Amino acid sequence: MNPKTVGLILAEEVAAADLMGPAEVFSRATIRRNDQPETRESRCYRVMTIGITAEPCVTECGIVISPHVDLESAPPLDTVFVCSESGCNGERLSRRLIKWLKQRAPNTRRIAALGRGIYALAATGLLDGRQAVIHWRFAKDVASRFPKLRINPNNLFVKDGPFYTCAGGTSAVDFALGLVEDDYGRRVALALARELVVQVKRSGEQEQCSEALKFQIQSSDRFADLPAWIFSHLRDDLSIDALAQRAAMSRRNFTRLFHEAFGKTPAQFVAEARIAEAQQRLLVPRNSIESIASSLGFRSADVFSVAFERCTGIRPRIYRSLRRAPKSNNSSANVAPHKSSGRSRSTVLRAA
């Protein structure tokens, strides 16, 4: 098996997470070949760093990286990741990168922008009229500079034609795992996620600020770790008694302090957490309603459907069909409003 060549474009002040996350995923991806002696494992990808010039680049956190090649010496590539714009070295380098991307696009299977790499890829015009995920911090600036883009500042990553965009940071790992799944199947991607100690392989539709993180931000020190633990144990017994025991508190005291911290009862919190996770799992076509209900601690699919409708206003099957419906290209706004409500999350193309 010939490994697919992946090129990671870097420049001065590249975010190390945008670069290292995908590099680690692709460099570790292997597939077992039964047609070879001793069922040897073959590498799925050849990872290559590409500098705009041949000079070493200093990342935002101070790590110095020497690229394997520069733009002019780069071989044919299966996938290109733009991990940075031109850095702080001026318009000349920016023009060089934009020209190179335009030349390479017709002969490259997929081109992706991670984090601030959106600036360079958008400047080529290749993303005009396409949906693009942006790190929430850069959304307004990108929208003002590139009004032809359909900006999505909410989700982790998205595919539109041969072009992919990703919010960057830790979502770059989820994005890379998604591409591995596209190329070699779900089993390979999940085995790799387990090796990398990923808690859960997130899909592109998930929001940049997760429900667990939102609750951690608003929680007191006493409950700092409880929201994340709940989201990691949605199938388990999450009754008030069980949660109070974990917090080493009496039932009455726990209920009172929990309500003060989160503005809702523990039962409401757990119910909303389960439905929020159900909304994400419903976006994966292979997940049946029955399996989702069981995995989230509901006694039956019927009980789950009633709880889901109570929280969102619609049944799970209808929610799934609406979220998978094609989105119109005639958008009157360049930037989608940031929404965290389970009732009105923005629709985004699946990164298949």
Report, as an integer, the average pLDDT of 256-262: 87
pLDDT over 70 for what percent of the chain?
A: 83
The 10 Å Cβ neighbour count of residue 344 is 9
Query: What is the pairing mode between strands 57-58 and 64-65?
Result: antiparallel
Tokens for 187? 């089993």
Tokens for 209? 């600020």
Output 35 or 14, whichever has higher pLDDT: 14
By the 10 Å C-beta count (0-12 exposed, 13-18 middle, 19+ buried), 251 is classed as middle
Map out the domains of the chain with their CATH numbers.
4-195 (3.40.50.880), 211-323 (1.10.10.60)
Tokens for 25? 């995923």
Q: State if pTM tops 0.95.
A: no
Report which of 4, 89, 95, 105 is spatially closest to residue 47, judged by C-alpha positions.
Answer: 4
pLDDT over 90 for what percent of the chain?
A: 55
Q: What is the pLDDT of residue 211?
A: 63
Q: What is the pLDDT of residue 285?
A: 79
Report, as an integer, the average pLDDT of 103-125: 95
Q: How confident is the model at residue 112 (pLDDT cuts 50, 70, 90)?
A: very high
Q: What is the pLDDT of residue 146?
A: 94
Predicted confidence (pLDDT) per residue in 8-23, tens digit: 999 888 899 999 999 9
Q: What is the pLDDT of residue 329?
A: 40
The 10 Å Cβ neighbour count of residue 236 is 11
Report which of 56, 32, 57 is spatially closest to residue 42, judged by C-alpha positions.
Answer: 32
Mean pLDDT of the chain: 84
Predicted confidence (pLDDT) per residue in 151-189, tens digit: 988 889 999 999 999 999 889 999 999 999 999 998 899
Least confident of 157-161, 212-216, 284-288, 306-310: 212-216
**DSSP codes of every residue in 120-150:** HHHHTTTTTTSEEE--GGGHHHHHHH-TTSE
Is residue 331 over pLDDT 70?
no
Report, as an integer, the average pLDDT of 305-334: 74
Is residue 217 over pLDDT 80?
no
